[in-house]
Structure 1
Amino acid sequence: MSDIKIFTTGGTIDKVYYDAKSDFQIGDPQIEPILQEAGVTLSFEVQSLLRKDSLEMTDEDRARVREAVQQDSHQRILITHGTDTMIDTALALGDCADKTVVLTGAMQPARFRITDAVFNVGFALGVAMSHPAGVYVAMNGQVFDPRKSVKNRAEGRFEASQ
């Protein structure tokens, strides 16, 4: 069995923009190229669950993610996810606390020359491999408890909630 299971759900990290006037599309998951280019030596398995902008995710989609996490035999799981509703999905995973589950994403697509995707994925992988069982959001060098955090859309970052 691999060291970690990675589920992809879409979001900005996997977005493709064809030109300034076109709509985006969710492309192929970018997690494998990111990890390969980074020289990650852990063994991992990737499974694509969804290819959606997180604003389009439904309660049924979150249930599908929760079921995949619960049914998987891995104890360490990383989920790439759109940032707008990442907290919602993390909260839906609250009953998966017997595993270490980390959600991460990006504010800029992984395909862009300047992106936070590579850093966020590497950081989240480290969190998944080093933290005890629980559900976490790992973004921009910080680990958040989804029950006590929010996305600050104006600043483009996650923060602890008051």
Structure 2
Amino acid sequence: MIEIFTTGGTIDKVYFDALSEYQVGPSAVAAILRDNNVHAPHRVTQLMRKDSLELTDDDRAAICQAVAASEAARILVTHGTDTMVETARALAGIEGKTVVLTGALQPATLKHSDAEFNIGFALAAAQTLSPGVYVAMNGQVLDPSRTRKDREAGRFVAD
């Protein structure tokens, strides 16, 4: 069983026409897994609905607590990309679990989003990697202790 915790971020942003802006909406993960005929045993739990720039130390502590308390040994966390590495580093002290963080640079609701690929890739990574904490974005599995988001290039890179 893979435990999937959702926290919000761009992956879950939806366009509210009346406001002319994007806001974090309900998690897209369950629909993406269903629509792509994914049968790997999993459970989706929404922890929060926040842009990652709005996450606090208390939010990160809640994410860490949920991951540590989960009975699952394999965990996927969807997260906003701006502070994903920071949260991954906070999770590093949890032993005996494979924890993979992923997100999207474009909302899942957009046609050219990287959300579906990243979720599928991260789900595979969570099933096959040894225990530890990883960032899985755009076809790469990265060590969060040596990773950063390159905003200009629109991807994550190893330092």
Task: Report the TM-score range of the alignment, normalised by the length of the smaller protein.
Answer: over 0.9
Matches within 5 A, 1:3-14: 3-14=1-12
Q: AA paired with 2:156?
A: F
Which stretches of structure 1, 4 residues or more, deviate above 2 A after TM superposition? 18-21
Closer, same or farther: CA 95–110 of 1 in aligned 2, 3 Å: same
Confirm or deny that 1:112 pairs with 2:106. Answer: no
Closer, same or farther: CA 21–28 of 1 in aligned 2, 3 Å: closer
RMSD over aligned CA atoms reads: 1.1
In structure 1, the residue corresponding to 2:61 is in which secondary structure? helix
In structure 2, the residue corresponding to 1:95 is in which secondary structure? coil
When the two structures are aligned, how many residues end up with a matched partner? Answer: 159
CA apart distance, 1:97: 3.2
Measured against aligned partners, the alpha-carbon deviations of 1:79-104 in whole angstroms (never above 9, x if no partner) come to: 00000000000000011131000000
CA apart distance, 1:19: 3.3
Q: Distance in 2 between matches of 1:97 and 1:17?
A: 38
CA apart distance, 1:158: 0.1
Identity within the alignment, %: 55
- Structure 2 residue runs without a partner (length 5+): none
CA apart distance, 1:74: 0.3
- Structure 1 residue runs without a partner (length 5+): none
Q: Paired residue for 1:121, among 99, 119, 127?
A: 119
Q: AA paired with 1:15?
A: K
Q: Distance in 2 between matches of 1:48 and 1:40?
A: 19
Matches within 5 A, 1:86-101: 86-101=84-99
CA apart distance, 1:28: 0.6
Q: Structure 1 length as normaliser, TM-score?
A: 0.95
